[in-house]
Amino acid sequence: RALVIPTGKKVRFLMTSDDVIHSWWVPDFAVKKDANPGFINEAWTKVNEVGIYRGQCAELCGKDHGFMPIVVDA
């Protein structure tokens, strides 16, 4: 499922992990943030254009790493 966010407003992302270190990365947002078990990290972005933005887990996190796409609908 896509993460839906508004356009034209600052958005705060809070991220953590239940298992291993992951890295939430969406190149068009210039955001790459680690998601660590037991910790909450934050990142901010503002998307001005409506669209579908894609990213990927940027940390080699296990056998299913290649099946962790990120889809953001703004």
17-57 pLDDT tens trace: 999 999 999 999 999 999 999 999 999 999 999 999 999 99
**Domains of the chain, first to last:** 3-73 (2.60.40.420)
Band of pLDDT at residue 58, cut at 50, 70 and 90? very high
Alpha helices by DSSP H, the chain:
none
- Burial (CB < 10 A; 0-12, 13-18, 19+), residue 1, is exposed
